């Protein structure tokens, strides 16, 4: 009962879940993550930690709870009010002095107000809906940012492995050049060129290792930890993407307009502004109130008990054009909100178009780079064999090794782009949640 009296309108139930109603399935499975898991870090782990530790999630959740409480404030006007008044004093006249005291208990209830309260409640409810949708939009943005940081760290790790392999190949090429030089069939120029290529490969590996450490530091920071926090990343599946995400772009845009939380928030803001117009108009209309209650009075020892009941009609006649300008202001604000909604609606189409085209490009690039790496690896093996056999030149070998290193880096970038643009398309459609990271969702936007 105490809980009911503490929240008679159930506003706590109106407030969205933390961190987001769209992620409620995941939130219901496990408590908010606060520590890095002992197992290698997966994308889900990174998103969990980022959402749970980022102050923005707490900020937008608290803002939604504020608006839920304001719904209760608006609904409280529907209930009667009960006031108690007590006064006391001493009166003096030329002939005598006496005490005077009084008390009254008044029950007042606004019976009819031409829509003031209903408009105010509608305004509060729509603002709560906007706050909830804003929370969803913020969480999805943080979700995407966490994934981008995670996949960048994965790309950094892959670049280190690729550069290490390129350094190994360069060292093997240098060993072959030195062996040919030592037996008198190779030239000093060949040996120096191979040594230069090895030194360059070593420098590339050192540079990529530094970039990988920076990427891990950025990931730790995004998850709410110090940059020097040690992280171990889980392996990402290397399955080729399918084309399940490919749909009619018009259908994707319409779906996005139905799901995008920022557009939903803008629509709720428009409805709240329209309710504010109704409220401003109602302020200039009459109200009818009921008032009743007992009174008690003691004047110089004479005690009087009484009571009253009655209706109060309040008719605003002239308020200095206050109502007129309140209505104009509210109507102009509604136009502002409508224009903002239309701007976001147009932006949704552009966001979906760009994300879709970027994902299409990344998907094709990922498939093409697989063939590129395979052919470059074969070319490098042939060039190394030819050089060791004495029928190829060191320039051919170095060119093949360089092409292979570039192909591997392009493959890494294509994989990074595919993961990021896949999440970006989901976010642009308002559908970015944990299902994107499940194996069954592979290839979905």
How many domains, the chain? 1
Residue 6 lies in a domain: no
Question: Could you give the angle at which helices 394-428 and 188-222 cross, rounded to 10 degrees?
Answer: 20
Residue 354 lies in a domain: yes
Residue 2 lies in a domain: no
Query: How far, in Å, are 26, 33, 427 from residue 435 at the CA level?
Result: 9, 18, 12
Query: How far, in Å, are 19, 158, 224, 363, 428 from residue 59 at the CA level?
Result: 10, 36, 15, 37, 22
Owning domain of residue 64? 26-90+97-441
Residue 16 lies in a domain: no
Sequence-distant (≥ 6) Cβ neighbours of residue 429 within 8 angstroms: 252, 255, 256, 259, 260, 352, 445
Instruction: Give the C-alpha separation, 224 to 49, whole Å.
Output: 7
How many separate helices (H) and strands (E) can be counted in the chain?
A: 11, 4
Residue 277 lies in a domain: yes
Q: What is the pLDDT along the chain (445 residues), one digit of tens a residue?
A: 344 677 888 888 887 766 554 454 454 445 566 788 889 999 988 998 888 888 888 888 889 999 999 999 999 999 999 999 999 888 887 777 888 899 999 999 999 999 999 999 999 999 999 999 999 999 899 999 999 999 999 999 999 999 999 999 999 999 999 998 888 888 899 999 999 999 999 999 999 999 999 999 999 999 989 999 999 999 887 656 666 666 788 899 999 999 999 999 999 999 999 999 999 999 999 999 999 989 999 887 888 898 889 999 999 998 889 999 999 999 999 999 999 999 999 999 999 999 999 999 999 999 899 999 999 999 999 999 998 888 889 999 999 999 999 999 999 999 999 999 999 999 999 988 888 877 533 444 4
Residue 129 lies in a domain: yes
pTM metric for this prediction: 0.84
Instruction: Give the C-alpha separation, 5 to 395, whole Å.
Output: 85
Which ranges constitute the DSSP H helices of 183-293?
188-222, 249-259, 261-282
Dihedral sign of CA atoms 343, 349, 351, 353 in order: negative
**How are strands ordered across the β-sheet holding 97-112?**
81-92, 97-112, 287-299, 302-314
Cβ(180)–Cβ(390) below 8 Å: yes
Residue 13 lies in a domain: no
Residue 20 lies in a domain: no
| CATH code: domain of residue 307 | 1.20.1600.10
């Amino acid at each position: 009962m105490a809980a009911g009296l503490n929240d008679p309108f159930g506003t706590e139930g109106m407030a969205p879940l933390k961190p987001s109603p769209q992620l409620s399935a995941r939130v219901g499975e496990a408590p908010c993550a606060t520590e890095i898991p002992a197992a290698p870090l997966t994308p889900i782990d990174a998103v969990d930690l980022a959402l749970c530790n980022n102050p923005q999630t707490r900020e937008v959740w608290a803002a939604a709870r504020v608006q839920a409480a304001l719904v209760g404030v608006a609904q409280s006007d529907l209930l009667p009010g009960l006031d108690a008044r007590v006064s006391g004093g001493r009166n003096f006249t030329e002939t005598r002095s006496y005490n005077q005291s009084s008390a009254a208990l008044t029950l007042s209830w606004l019976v009819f107000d031409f829509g003031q309260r209903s408009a105010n409640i509608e305004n509060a409810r729509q603002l709560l809906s906007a706050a909830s949708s804003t929370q969803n939009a913020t969480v999805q943005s943080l979700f995407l940012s966490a994934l981008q940081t995670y996949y960048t760290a994965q790309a950094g790790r892959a670049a280190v492995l690729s550069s290490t392999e390129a350094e190994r190949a360069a060292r093997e090429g240098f060993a072959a050049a030195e062996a040919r030089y030592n037996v008198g069939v190779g030239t000093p120029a060949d040996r120096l060129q191979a040594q230069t290529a090895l030194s360059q490969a070593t420098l590339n590996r050192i540079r990529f290792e530094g970039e990988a450490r920076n990427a891990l530091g950025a990931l730790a920071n995004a998850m709410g930890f110090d940059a020097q926090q040690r992280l171990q990343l889980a392996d990402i599946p290397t399955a080729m993407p399918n084309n399940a995400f490919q749909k009619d772009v018009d259908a994707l845009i319409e779906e996005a307009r139905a799901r995008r939380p920022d557009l939903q928030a803008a629509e709720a803001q428009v409805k709240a502004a329209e309710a504010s117009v109704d409220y401003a108009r109602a302020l200039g209309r009459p109200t009818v109130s009921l008032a009743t209650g007992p009174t008690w009075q003691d004047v110089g020892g004479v005690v009087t008990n009484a009571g009253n009941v009655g209706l109060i009609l309040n008719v605003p006649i002239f308020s200095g054009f206050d109502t007129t300008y309140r209505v104009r202001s509210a109507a102009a604000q509604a136009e502002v909100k409508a224009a903002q909604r239309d701007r976001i609606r147009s932006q949704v189409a552009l966001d979906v178009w760009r994300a879709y085209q970027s994902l299409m490009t990344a998907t094709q690039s990922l498939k093409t780079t697989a063939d590129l790496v395979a052919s470059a690896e074969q070319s490098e093996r042939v060039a190394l064999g030819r050089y060791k056999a004495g029928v190829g030149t060191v320039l051919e070998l170095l060119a093949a090794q360089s092409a292979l290193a570039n192909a591997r880096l392009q493959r890494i970038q294509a994989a990074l782009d595919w993961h990021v643009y896949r999440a970006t398309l989901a976010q642009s459609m308002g559908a970015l949640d944990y299902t994107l990271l499940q194996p069954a969702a592979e290839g979905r936007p």
